[in-house]
Structure 1
Amino acid sequence: MRRLDELRVAGMLLTRLPMGRVARVVPMGETAWAWPLIGALVGAIIAAVAWGAGDLPPLVTGVLAVAAGLLVTGAMHEDGLADCADGFGGGRDRARKLEIMRDSRLGSYGAAALCLALLAKVALIGALDDTLVLIATGAASRALLPALQQLMPQARAEGLGAGAAAVGQGGAAVAAGLGCGALVICPGGLAALLALAIAQAGVALIARRQIGGVTGDVLGAAQLLGEIAALIIISR
């Protein structure tokens, strides 16, 4: 029951899918082990849509698949990327960057980053020969986020990122093992995992320099850019 509650809360955190009721209060940090499982579920839904649209032009297939992913996740990762781009690009100091990131309005940096990321995902998914790989990239792109939470300081004392900050070493290790293992067994998976890890580490290091650490938005940006990096390698 405890693990099932943690899995459900992870689903509530990372998707807009109905997950039922939980029997107890579950701190977000305790759900970290299940993030790649929820990522695999999201990837499976996207893969199913892409497979079902397989007879359509690749561009249409990619658009439908990406749209399905946005609906399932509530575009939370895309929102994180846009907020980071606006804050990092438009703020003069740490306080101003964090203020911009919290602002719900979309600026020019955020709009540009969002458009480029969505275009990349549409093109990459449309070009895939085997859409099942989306299950592995969905899992792996969320598998290393708990480790980032452990290794990097928190830029804010409150918010989603801080709420998930109390990730235990065991939970982070389980998440990494589940998600990374799923990707490694795919053709070209080891190189894709390396690209994903480099992209996510790069996002985290840039965030540390810009705002002193990670936030929920930074984790969202890391997930999205890591997934794109993995898909680039797989699609070669």
Structure 2
Amino acid sequence: MKKEIRIFFTAMMFLTRLPVPQYTDHSQEYLEKSAKYFPLIGWLVAGISWLTYVVFSKYIGEDIAIIASIIAGILTTGAFHEDGFADCCDAFGGGWTKEKILTIMKDSRLGTFGVIGLISILSVKFLMLKEIPKFTPDLSAPSVNVFANYGQFLLLLLAAHGASRLMGVYTIRFYDYVTDIDASKAKPITSRKPSAGLLAVATIFALAPFALLDYRLSIAVIPMALTAWQANVYFKKWIGGYTGDCLGAIQQITEIVFYLSVIILWRYWL
């Protein structure tokens, strides 16, 4: 149990800026095993974002609450995934060969494609999150407990953040890592592919929130998986596999796809 707790804190240290116990380090052994807890780290980010939204929504306003929740998530992760998405926008937008793409991706400077990509995806995320609370069943008969009113919204955020991080774990499992692995911050988790058991544990964690939601909402995982698969096909075509930045891009894109899928399901089926 102590070992598993340490592995969990290793995942937290790798994916967020949240404080961890001093005994947590960058052990390659623990980093390799930490991928099974990536969905749980997504839960932490979702919980912080949700709590921020509820507080700001009650005392200030919904639009500001949504912006505040997005900022809270970014601060929690240190823009870890957003940075990867922006780097991919710059690299694949400005590079036409594998070498050029990888060179641009390693550049710490943010280019035009990255800026446009970030503005676009954050704008879409804002609009999606503004729509989702309108459909949550809790608001059909609101109570005096503001936290209870957004219980379904919390479950959806847990599902979105958990499942979108699961897509990255599957990428690590089934695709090859490219670029100079010795110089990569993702080396410890990509040097050895996750085992089938580790993948199963991560999948269970990611799908757990759906047990408390309408079972039909679990369909939203299908377009997420298809999107991640197509992204990996694209990455493999151009650079022969994936990089750490590609994992961040997959998380961001599939999170958006989840929100869109849920809104469509609510509008036309539920």
Q: Render the CA deviation track for 1:169-218: whole Å, top value 9, x for unaligned.
A: 21122101210232464334222111211222222111111211111100
Q: Secondary structure at the match of 2:153?
A: coil
Which of 196, 202, 213 matches 2:230? 202
- Structure with higher Rg: it is 2
Q: Whole-Å Cα distance in 2 between the matches of residues 162 and 215 of structure 1?
A: 10
Contact 1:59/1:123 (<8 A) preserved: no
Alignment pair present for 1:226 and 2:249: no
Contact 2:57/2:64 (<8 A) preserved: no
Aligned to 2:213: 186
Opposite residue 231 of structure 2, the aligned amino acid is V
Q: Cα RMSD over matched residues?
A: 1.7
Aligned to 1:92: 96
Contact 2:10/2:24 (<8 A) preserved: no
Displacement of 1:49 in angstroms is: 1.1
> Percent identical across equivalent pairs?
29
Contact 1:9/1:22 (<8 A) preserved: no
Q: Whole-Å Cα distance in 2 between the matches of residues 210 and 163 of structure 1?
A: 24
Q: Whole-Å Cα distance in 2 between the matches of residues 118 and 48 of structure 1?
A: 19
TM-score (norm 1): 0.93
Q: Whole-Å Cα distance in 2 between the matches of residues 45 and 84 of structure 1?
A: 27
Aligned pair count reads 236
Which stretches of structure 1, 4 residues or longer, exceed 2 Å deviation after superposition? 21-27, 53-59, 160-163, 180-189
Q: Whole-Å Cα distance in 1 between the matches of residues 180 and 207 of structure 2?
A: 29
Change (3 A) 1:184 1:85: farther
Q: Give 1:139-158 correspondences, 5 Å limit.
A: 139-158=162-181
5+ residue gaps, structure 1, are none
Q: Render the CA deviation track for 1:36-68: whole Å, top value 9, x for unaligned.
A: 111111111111111222244433222111010
Aligned to 1:131: 153
Opposite residue 139 of structure 1, the aligned amino acid is G
5+ residue gaps, structure 2, are 134-151, 265-270
Aligned to 1:8: 9
Hey, which of these two has a bigger chunk of helix by percent? 2
Contact 2:86/2:110 (<8 A) preserved: yes
Change (3 A) 1:44 1:23: closer
Alignment pair present for 1:40 and 2:43: yes
